[in-house]
Amino acid sequence: MLTPHLTREDSQLRYESVPLAAIAEQFGTPTYVYSRSAIVENFREYKNAFASSAPLICYAVKANSTLSVLALLASEGAGFDIVSTGELKRVIAAGGDPGKVIFSGVAKRADEIAYALSQKIYCFNVESEAELHRVNTVAIDMQTRARITFRINPDVDPKTHPYISTGLKSNKFGIAHTEAVRLYRLAASMHGIEIAGIECHIGSQITELGPYADALKRLLGLVDELSAVGIHIEHLDLGGGRGIVYGDESVVPMSAFADEVQRQLAGRHLKLLLEPGRSIVGNAGVLVTRVEYLKPGESKNFAIVDAGMNDLLRPTLYDAFHPVEAVLSRTRDAVLYDIVGPVCESGDWLAKARALALEPGDLIAVLCTGAYGMVMASNYNTRNRPCEVMVDRGEAHLIRERESFEDLIAHERIVV
Ligand code: LLP
């Protein structure tokens, strides 16, 4: 198996037994395809590894917010970590329970706070003193109390790409751990606030155990300091960030991760929350694209495909590596290709220097694109965003139609 449920049989790639070529034939390209079983298994891996602490696993909606993905996770009992009213509305539209929603993000508007309060979400992860005042004011106006955690910036290095590390002093996220006791005391004095917990999220695509162990230790130190001044912490939220294997990374096994967390929490009456995104959906999706042209060059050969940086931004934005596979195996010799898209930017590439045996019109699958793929897609170059398909034990279901030109211009007015 290349990634969970992605196999090569009879010289062609199949996802949960469905030939990717058949999906391309039926729905066109580029198309995101997700494996239902892979998503469920990833979620259950967390549930099983952490079984003894029965955590509330709040799937980070930002990783993939397609309604069918949210509905599937809701049916597995997931809570949700959101960063906007839009994400909360998606959770509700998908049948998720607002009572299991936590609201993260540095720039919550007053109307977003009010809407989340009206939906009775589980809690707000507050990221600054100014935000604390705003949440308090909105809650008092609505004659209610907002349950909050502070997102603590524990100043540990998650050893990941600088754009996706969030727990360093130099990042915009969270409050400094040196400020925590003062701010919790302030929160405790506010009529619109109920202190629920403590939270951190130190980054994304974290492969080592050390940064988590350090962050958790720092948080537990604060829980003790707070308890000494009479502030009771009900839950501890360790954030998301667990990495996946895109290439040659070795990711600390889930069991070692869970054991360390549960070892540190042993004997404490703290409810555990987690906010995984990438590790639930990342390896459960592929982007299928068609080769429009092969362009041999003096220094490089290009395979020009019909998916671009507007469809999958990660390579352009983070220099991210995604494995690439030809959908149909060919017997001819492989050639090194840069796989590039149709967008008019030199930075429009999906993969570099990959050995593939291709002919024009062939299909390529870009693997591990279930997280931060479709959600980061744009309409740059007036390109319709891809459609999305979910495979489920031998069947393919369309879960989002391909956008049309009419969708793209629907909100425009011509004024001359
Ligand atoms: N909780 C909070 C507060 C977050 O900011 C994030 C991700 C998560 C949870 C989920 O983290 P995960 O388990 O997915 O690592 N677009 C980037 C990733 C940005 C992550 C931002 N925060 C990428 O494509 O690599």
Instruction: Give the predicted TM-score (pTM) of the model.
Output: 0.97
Put residue 211 in one of left, alpha, beta given phi > 0 → left and psi -120 to 50 → alpha: alpha
How far apart are alpha carbons 288 and 244 in whole angstroms?
A: 20
- Which residues are annotated as catalytic? 344
Instruction: Reduce the DSSP state of residue 357 to 3 states and report it.
Output: coil
How far apart are alpha carbons 310 and 325 in whole angstroms?
A: 20
Q: What pLDDT shows up at residue 173? A: 83
Rounded to an integer, the average pLDDT of 121-130 is 97
Average pLDDT, rounded, for the chain: 96
Is the Cβ atom of 212 under 6 angstroms away from ligand 1? no
Nearest to 154 by CA among 198, 120, 118: 198
Q: With bands split at pLDDT 50, 70 and 90, how would you rate the model's confidence at 163? A: low
Give the tokens for residue 61.
Answer: 């909606």
What is the Å distance from ligand 1's center to 227 Cα?
Answer: 30
- Residue 175 is given by DSSP the state E
**Considering the chain, what percentage of its residues have pLDDT values greater than 70?**
97
pLDDT in tens, 291-350: 999 999 889 999 999 999 999 999 999 999 999 999 999 998 999 999 999 999 999 999
Q: ∠ CA 395-397-403 to the nearest 5 degrees?
A: 150
Alpha carbons within 13 A on the beta-carbon side of 58? 32
Atom in ligand 1 nearest the alpha carbon of residue 205: 15
Pocket mutation for ligand 1, best pick of 172, 278, 378 (most atoms within 8 Å of C-beta)? 278
Higher local confidence (pLDDT), 124 or 158: 124
Atom in ligand 1 nearest the alpha carbon of residue 241: 15
Burial 226-238 (b: 16+ CB within 10 A, else e): beeeebebebbbb
Among protein residues, the one whose CA lies closest to atom 24 of ligand 1? 372
Helices 129-141/110-118 angle, 10° precision? 50
Q: What pLDDT shows up at residue 162? A: 65
214 burial level (CB within 10 Å; 0-12, 13-18, 19+): middle
Rounded to an integer, the average pLDDT of 357-366 is 98
pLDDT in tens, 332-342: 899 999 999 99
- CATH fold for domain 6-35+282-409: Lyase, Ornithine Decarboxylase; Chain A, domain 1 (2.40.37)
Is the Cβ atom of 61 under 6 angstroms away from ligand 1? no
pLDDT in tens, 253-285: 999 999 999 999 999 999 999 999 999 999 999
| pLDDT above 90 for 209 | yes
Residue 57 makes CB contacts below 8 A (sequence gap 6+) with 43, 46, 47, 50, 77, 78, 79, 273, 274, 276
Q: What pLDDT shows up at residue 164? A: 62
Q: What pLDDT shows up at residue 168? A: 64
Q: What pLDDT shows up at residue 1? A: 81
Q: What pLDDT shows up at residue 167? A: 61
Among protein residues, the one whose CA lies closest to atom 6 of ligand 1? 240
How is the chain split into domains, by residue range? 6-35+282-409, 105-274
**Considering the chain, what percentage of its residues have pLDDT values greater than 90?**
94
Q: What is the C-alpha end-to-end distance of the chain, expressed in Å? A: 57
- CATH fold for domain 105-274: TIM Barrel (3.20.20)
